[in-house]
Structures are given as structure tokens and as C-alpha cells.
Structure 1
Amino acid sequence: MVAAFDGWNDACQSAMNVVRHLVSKYRSLEVGHISRDGFYDFQAARPMQCTIQGTRHILWPQTAFYDITISPDVHILAQLGPEPNYHWMEYCQESLHFAKQYDVDELVTLGSMFAETPHSRPLPLDMSRDGKAWDTDSEYSGPIGIPHVLDAMAVDEGYRTDAIWVSVPQYLGSDPCPQATVDLLAALSKVVGVDLSPMELAGKAAQWHARGDVMVRNNADMAQYVEQLEHDYDMKESARKIASQGTPEVEQLVQEAEAYLRELP
């Protein structure tokens, strides 16, 4: 089962767009939903009104489940909806009830967050399995959302779980970030064991990078800020590489970092 939630857990709707892409690309069937009653504050997640062929319809916030046929041997039960406002434990129990009904053996939660990261470098990915971060240096402590709670409850119920989070540049605003969706899909492909690479999203990702380049070129303050982010990013990547090569190289990195800090005003 692959779960993505709108709201605080999904900067630029990068995770939601993963599920939307899968639903549009593969044969998909909506197989159920979690009732809106009791889970949502309608002043925070307001219902929407639309008119179809002269008839008014009210669309209430709710979670939908889709059976997506990736291949004859691989099905994904996708969970898509707004993060609930109330009764998280009960909500997660209902989610896992759907997982049990469809013989799910692994749960994957997707999320994205704003961060101080440059658009001109690979977007950082944080991944965990069964609640344990792949990179111990990226262990998270702080406020959490419904994906973390669902992941923890699934582990307690005996499911194998993966959590995949991507960081997106905060300075580019909340417009969709196709590159983040592409990166989440690539990571999900490794978990599922099937190539889900979205060729049609590659062009949109390139356009996103180009828009970022234009914004930086036209704003001197932003250009300086991004240059600092790039430097910090490169330093961290260099540290990761050097740390695995031995003590002399680590000492050299420390000396370079100290020299850099001495040059700061």
C-alpha cells in the first residue's frame, strides 16, 4: 500500500502527485474510502462545490483507496486524501483495515517538506525502513504528521514499512515541484521492484529547474542565498565521501571547514 496525504506533510503536493500519476498511468479502480464524518474540520478542509451539466454537487473531504494494476504480478493499493484533523488513531486503524482486506504485506508512506536546499543540486531524500532511518545521521526528532503515525502503527501490526521523504527548496514557493515527484517515484520503484519512471514528467522537471534558474538570475539577493546553499550542500556531500576514506582525509576536511569559517564576516 502506498499512502500520501495532502497538507502539512506534502510540500508542493509532490507526494500526492505520485499517486495521481500512478492512477492516471495504470489501470486503476477506486475500491473504497474513509468516511468524512468525525475526521475533518470543515473550516480547515472545506468542502468544494461544483456544477456538472447544470446540477450542483458538493465534494466533501475524504480519503480514497485505489487498486492500481502495475503488472499482472504487482498491485498497489493507493491511499490518497487530506490529513485528518481529528482521531488519528482511529483513522490509521481504518487505513490498516483496508490494507488487511487487500492482503497488503508492505506499507509505503510518501511525504515532502520545505527545506533550505538548492534547486541546482539533487533534492535530498530521507528514507526509513520499519521505522529506522537508512542514514542514522538523518534520524528525525520533532513534530510529526499522519504518515509517521500510520507507519508506526503498521510496524506494530507486523507490516514491513518504508517511509520516503523528499526536501524541496523553500525559496521557490508552493508551486508543484515535478523533480520531487520524479525522485519519489524513482525511490518507490526500488521498493516495489518495478520501474515506475515517468518519462512524461522529465520535461516538466527540466522546466522547473529552468524557472528556478531564471528566478535566481533576476534576483541578486536570492542568487547570493542560493550560492550559500550550494556551498553548504557541496560541503556536506564532500564530508560524506571523505568520512568513508580514512582519518587523514577527514582531518583535511576539518581544516578546510575551519578556514572557511574564519573567512566569514
Structure 2
Amino acid sequence: MRFLENMSFGQYVPARSWVHRLDPRAKVGALALLLTGVFMAERPYDWILWAAALWLCAALSQTSVAFLLRSIRTVLFLIVFTALLNLFFASGEPLWQWGIFRVSREGVELAWTMALRLTLLVLFANLLTLTTSPMALSDGLESIFSPFKRFGFPAHELAMMMTIALRFIPTLLSETDRILKAQLARGADLDRGSVVRRMKAFIPVLVPLFVIVFQRADDLAVAMEARCYRGGEGRTRMKPFCWRAADTAALVFCALLIVGQKLLNWVIG
């Protein structure tokens, strides 16, 4: 259970970096552009381009790539499962086959492509949460969605739910780690035996975890009501947003990366 000790996904790390000082709206927009480019990537030099972009973003945010890579542990099973699914069940002329499982050249290409896409998606998204406080992210998302309020879209409520969900990730990981250590101190064996036995051994962990989740949710609701929280109508921000030239430069840079990728594909063919 050591993976819980170094989990980085969903955490905010305060710093005075260039990325930290960007407007949260610019960071959300930049993330959307970066993910668009990642999902358009197919060839090896495309992945080199986006890996270099990730390294540059990490350097500008004063975040080590090693610390950033820890977030992969959260979704490693999903990445491996998706890659294997595409590897064994993608259409194409089979290179190897055993029963319903077959490996084709198209399947191999699709497997590593999907694995790289999911990996970069998680890393770029984690970079956003590492450099943006939950409150700033909530205000930024609300500002982005605010034009849709006239159509009845609950911009403030959606932004608040997303922020609370992100904020609770490190809290839940911390509580899970605490419960695991308590169970191990009582002699629980969670790492041995068959899959069924391990699942049964986790029941004493999951039950108190669910109880704690509901307790934390109730405490949060009471705290919000005690502070007279009534939704987003008429609420103001302690720190109003100020769009600067650096925010525009960040969006332009991300857009130029997509243009550069398309030009590279056109030149190389």
C-alpha cells in the first residue's frame, strides 16, 4: 500500500512559478488546447512534441517530472486495461492468435497510442491541479461557464461540485492510508492470497471509509450552511481575476503547438 504515500493527483502545491501566477481561466483553456493536440497525435514525432511540451510546462511550474509521474499510479490499471483491450481485440490482419485473443499490427499501434494519450491526459490534468488552488479553479470554471447561465445552466453549482471532488481526493487518500495502517497494526493481511481473499480482506477498510466519506460530507454541508452559503447568486470574489499578457501568451503558445503538429505531419507526410 505504499503507493498511497506518494500520491500527487488532486493536490495543490503552492509556489511562485510562472504557471502558478496565470489566470485559472487561461490554465483551463490551455489544458483544453493541450488535450485537443494530444488526441490528434498519432505519429512518434507527435508524442515527442507533446512530451517536450509537458516537460516545459513542468519546468515553468517548478514541478519535477518525477513528482508529476506519481499521478499515473492512480489510473495505471485503467491505462493498462485500455491498452490490452485494444491490443487483443482491435480489427486487422492477425500476427498472432489464440482463441478470441489476437494481436494485429493495427492493434499494437492502437494500444500504445491509447496508452500514451491517457498518460499525457492525466499528467496535463494533474499539472492543472498542482498549480491551481481549489477556490481559484472553482471561480475560473464558473467564469468560463457563466455565459451559459442565461440558458439555465448551473455554472456555479457545477464548478463547486468539481472543486469539492478534486479537493476530497487527497483527503480520501489520507483517510484510506490511515485506515490501512490501523488494520495492518491489528494483523490484517491485505497483500497475500487469492484475488477473492484480498477483496474480502478489504471489507474492513471500505466500510469505515464509506462512513468517513458521509461524515465529511455532512460536516462540509453544516460548515457551508453556518457561513450562510446560498449558491452563487450575488457572491463576489475576494481576489478578482485580472487577465494579463502572460495569459494570452500561454493560450497562443498552446494553439501554436497544435498548428506546429499539423505542419509537421504535412511536411513529413
Range class of TM-score, shorter chain? under 0.3
Structure having the larger proportion of residues in helix: 2
Could you say which structure has the higher strand fraction?
A: 1
Tell me: higher relative CO, structure 1 or 2? Use CA pairs within 8 A at least 6 residues apart. 2
Give the TM-score of the pair, scaled to structure 1: 0.27
